Structure formats: C-alpha cells, structure tokens
Amino acid sequence: MSIDAKLRERAAKVVPGGMYGHLNAALHGPAYPQFFVGGEGCRQRDADGREYVDLMCSWGPVVLGHRHPAVEGAVAAQLAAGDCLNGPGPVYVELAELLVETVPQADWVMFSKNGTDATTQALMVARAATGRTKVLMAHGAYHGADPWCTPSTAGTTPNERADLVEFTYNDLASVEAAAAQAEGDVAAIIVTPFKHDSFEDQELVAAEFARGVRALADRIGAALVIDDVRGGWRIDLGGSWEPLGVRPDLYAFSKAMANGHPIAAVTGVDSLRGPAQTLYSTGSFWFNAAPMAAAKATIETLRAVDGIALMERAGTRLREGLAAQAASHGFTVNQTGPVQIPWLSFEGDATLDKGMFWAAACLEEGVYLHPWHNWFLSAAHTDADIDRALQGTDAAYAKLRARFGAD
Ligand code: PMP
C-alpha cells in the first residue's frame, strides 16, 4: 500500500470523509495524490516521493515558487523576533504603506487571513457605507466558502443568501436588470477580474463591461468590489483591472499575496475609510507578523524581478506548446484565461472524460495540472521547466489518442 493510501486510511478515521474542501483529491480523480511533503521552485513532491512540475502552485498562493529564499528569510527573521503578539508589529504599517504605494486604487488597507475574509469584509464596508442590503454577483462566481457564498448549500440557510441578486458575467444588461430588481437597495456589485468558474472555459472581461459596471455602481451609489483573490498579483501588481483603467471602490486580495503564507487584504478608496473604521472585523491570527513579512517580501520581489512578465513568458510558452501538440495529435482544444492563469478543455468534452483522462495521464508523466479548475504559473517556471512539462503533456496526448482516437 502506498504511503498516500495509508495516510488516507488513517485520515478517514479521524476527519469527516478524510479530507474536505478544494484540496480534496477525491474531487480531482483517482490518480491524484492527497498528501505532499515538499516543494522547491516550481516542483512539488508527494508523500510517496514522486516529483511533479507544479502547474497549480497550491491553487494560486505560490507565485514566486516554493520556498523562495527572500520570502522564507523574511519569515524566519520575523518568527525569531515574534509572530503572534499583543498587537501587530511595525511590519503591519510597512506592508500597508507598500500596498497603498503599489495599488493605485488603494488609499487604505485592512488585513485578514483568507480570501473569504476579504470578500466578506469588503461587503461589510459597502453595507456600512450605504446602509443598504443587496449585493449583485455573477451567477456561478466563487467568492469564498462562508455561508453567504459557498457553492454548496449544505449547512446554510436560504436567509444567508437572500440578499444576493445574480447577473451574467460580461452581460451589462443583466447587471442593470439585477440592480432594477434590487429596487434601490444595492450596497455592492462584486465581480471577479475575469470569469474563472470551475468546469467552464474561462472568459476575459470585456472592457465595456468593466467600464459599464463602474458607471452603474456610480449611478446607483453602490460600491464596486473586485474579488481579486484569484487573479491578484499575477495580472497586474496594481490590481487586475488597472490595465483597463477601471478602479473599484474595494479590492479583495489574498492567495498569491505572500507566496503561500496566510494573509488577505481589502484595499479601499478614501470615501470608504470612515465606514470601514466602524466595523468590528477581526481574528485571532489576522495580525500575525510573519505572514505580513512574507507579503512584504513577496510584493517587493515580484516588483524587483518583474514577476508578471516572467509568468506571462512561461504561460505563453506553455500555451503555444500545448496548442502545437494538440494539433499534431489531432485534438481540438480550447485554451482560455490569461496565459499565467490558464486552462485547457477538449472541444465537445462535456462529460470531461477526455479532460480527466488527459490530466491523469499528465500526472503519470510528472506534470501536476487540473482537469476542471484553472491552473497557475509562477515566476519560478523557467523555459526549461515549461519544456519539461510539455514533454509530459505530449506523452499524455499520445495516451489520450490511443484511448479515444483523434477528433
Ligand atoms: N474569491 C475567489 C475568486 C477565489 O478564487 C477564492 C479561493 N479560491 C476565494 C474568493 C476564497 O478564498 P479563500 O479560499 O482563501 O477563503
């Protein structure tokens, strides 16, 4: 029996279902290992010692590569000095200053721990500011796992979602209709920087949609919230809609902000500073200094090495390589999303039979990617790493062809 199987057996006795949430390997396919023991740069090692080129980056947090020396050095120094104290360390102020300097939209910052904390806190600020109740969100969008936003209704009540009104991503008329339905009671419009729902091809935002939701929020006096938890720190260090010239009232960040260390942030505009100050919003570990030191080192390093350009280069190489391989093996594939947050689906594969088979074959070939959730690249992916990944994907296409035949 593999070490992974033994660990699963033990986990099943002491944890409901053995594992839960987004990292539950049972959701990814039988070939996927559950337990990991190490990572270096863009490689991860599972509990049985198999090494993979990591195209998931721990579902986003790892943006500079595993165990990046600048980040781990900053964390070690902060841990040696003190992490969880009776108040935040000076690094709290330094990080807040760095964020205000890096994100042009930001006049102020509030910290928390997870992406769900940040999206929830952003909506609290919007409600405190407007005195209104309703929130407009895109159908199918993921904004976290609290009762108001978890995609599963188990353990929640209808009341907890009663204040959401849904629209269709990239369809401005549907946002207008949702606003009309909420009859003047809209506190916020929350939107992701691009459409990255699981099981579906991704969709970049249309510039006129982004400008349109900004104008609508202004017209109805609601706060525009961008949930940049997934896109943040990979598309633009100033916030993912900065290249469009559209600035929200509130950005929610987490995931890649501290290269795998636990921290989230909401950044806001001046007019929301007063309402933000009225919240009682806190957590036992929200002010720990080590993740703040990690975030500071991560953002400084991303700036210094032009991490986004590195990710775009790696992502372009991967996308072009995958396209050429698909064509040579006779498959029609759809590659969607920004190149540094990519996904690939097989044309006409509604059942995901091909996608699941191919992803499992990639795993066998030492490439860790995902059959139904977008992937993530990091600044640690060199040309050689991408070429190594492409060797694996090529072999996986060959296995797919042997199993299903070409399109
Ligand atoms: N918003 C988006 C867009 C996300 O992708 C996620 C996490 N996948 C969240 C919010 C929630 O973040 P967390 O899991 O850290 O609470």
- In this structure, the answer to whether residues 46 and 83 fall within a common structural domain is no
In the listed set 304, 331, 350, which residue is the last one of a domain according to the structure?
Answer: 304
Which range of residues forms the domain containing residue 10? 3-66+306-404
Predicted pLDDT of residue 31: 94
- In this structure, the answer to whether residues 94 and 200 fall within a common structural domain is yes
In the listed set 254, 280, 304, which residue is the last one of a domain according to the structure?
Answer: 304
Predicted pLDDT of residue 342: 98
- In this structure, the answer to whether residues 136 and 239 fall within a common structural domain is yes
Predicted pLDDT of residue 63: 98
State the CATH number of the domain containing residue 333: 3.90.1150.10
Q: Which of 112, 142, 146 to mutate to test the pocket of ligand 1 (most atoms within 8 A of CB)?
A: 142
194 Cα: distance to centroid of ligand 1 (angstroms): 14
Q: Which of 169, 251, 254, 370 to mutate to test the pocket of ligand 1 (most atoms within 8 A of CB)?
A: 254
Work out the burial of residue 327: count CB atoms within 10 Å of its CB; fewer than 13 is exposed, 13-18 middle, 19 or more buried: exposed
Q: Which atom of ligand 1 is nearest to the CA of 264?
A: 15
With bands split at pLDDT 50, 70 and 90, how would you rate the model's confidence at 267? very high
Q: Which atom of ligand 1 is nearest to the CA of 255?
A: 15
Mind listing the pLDDT tens digit for each residue in 55-98?
999 999 999 999 999 999 999 999 999 999 999 999 999 999 99
- In this structure, the answer to whether residues 62 and 73 fall within a common structural domain is no
- In this structure, the answer to whether residues 262 and 310 fall within a common structural domain is no
- In this structure, the answer to whether residues 58 and 132 fall within a common structural domain is no
What is the C-alpha separation between 347 and 361, in angstroms, rounded?
Answer: 18
Predicted pLDDT of residue 72: 98
392 Cα: distance to centroid of ligand 1 (angstroms): 29
- In this structure, the answer to whether residues 287 and 334 fall within a common structural domain is no
Predicted pLDDT of residue 349: 97
Least Cα distance to 110 among 256, 281, 224, 236 occurs for 281
Beta-bridge mates of residue 253 = 265
* Nearest CA, atom 13, ligand 1: 115
Whether the Cβ atoms of residue 346 and residue 358 lie closer than 8 Å to each other: yes
Predicted pLDDT of residue 394: 98
170 Cα: distance to centroid of ligand 1 (angstroms): 20
| Across 236-245, average pLDDT | 98
- In this structure, the answer to whether residues 283 and 394 fall within a common structural domain is no
- Mean pLDDT for the chain? 98
Mind listing the pLDDT tens digit for each residue in 156-213?
999 999 999 999 999 999 999 999 999 999 999 999 999 999 999 999 999 999 999 9
What is the C-alpha separation between 345 and 336, in angstroms, rounded?
Answer: 8
- In this structure, the answer to whether residues 219 and 127 fall within a common structural domain is yes
Predicted pLDDT of residue 153: 93
Tokens of 52: 């993979």
Considering Cα of 144, then 150, then 152, then 155, what sign does the dihedral take?
positive
Number of domains into which the chain is organized: 2
| Across 260-269, average pLDDT | 98
Q: Which atom of ligand 1 is nearest to the CA of 114?
A: 15
With bands split at pLDDT 50, 70 and 90, how would you rate the model's confidence at 111? very high
- In this structure, the answer to whether residues 261 and 360 fall within a common structural domain is no
Predicted pLDDT of residue 122: 99
Mind listing the pLDDT tens digit for each residue in 308-326?
999 999 999 999 999 999 9
Predicted pLDDT of residue 359: 98
State the CATH number of the domain containing residue 99: 3.40.640.10
Helix segments in 191-288, DSSP class H: 207-220, 273-277
- In this structure, the answer to whether residues 245 and 300 fall within a common structural domain is yes
Predicted pLDDT of residue 291: 98
Predicted pLDDT of residue 65: 98
Predicted pLDDT of residue 383: 98
Q: Which of 57, 111, 116, 192 to mutate to test the pocket of ligand 1 (most atoms within 8 A of CB)?
A: 116
Q: Which atom of ligand 1 is nearest to the CA of 59?
A: 8
- Is this complex's ipTM strictly greater than 0.90? yes
* Nearest CA, atom 9, ligand 1: 144
- In this structure, the answer to whether residues 159 and 184 fall within a common structural domain is yes
Predicted pLDDT of residue 93: 98
With bands split at pLDDT 50, 70 and 90, how would you rate the model's confidence at 328? very high
- Burial code of 299-318, b = ≥16 C-beta within 10 A, e = fewer? bebbeeeebbebbbbbbebb
CB-defined site of ligand 1, < 6 Å: 114-116, 119, 142-145, 192, 227, 229-230, 254
- The percent of residues above 70 in pLDDT, for the chain, comes to 100
Mind listing the pLDDT tens digit for each residue in 278-309?
999 999 999 999 999 999 999 999 999 999 99
Predicted pLDDT of residue 384: 98
Which phi and psi (to 5°) does residue 238 adopt? -90, 5
In the listed set 304, 323, 353, which residue is the last one of a domain according to the structure?
Answer: 304
| Across 339-343, average pLDDT | 98
Predicted pLDDT of residue 321: 98
312 Cα: distance to centroid of ligand 1 (angstroms): 22
241 Cα: distance to centroid of ligand 1 (angstroms): 18
| Across 112-117, average pLDDT | 98
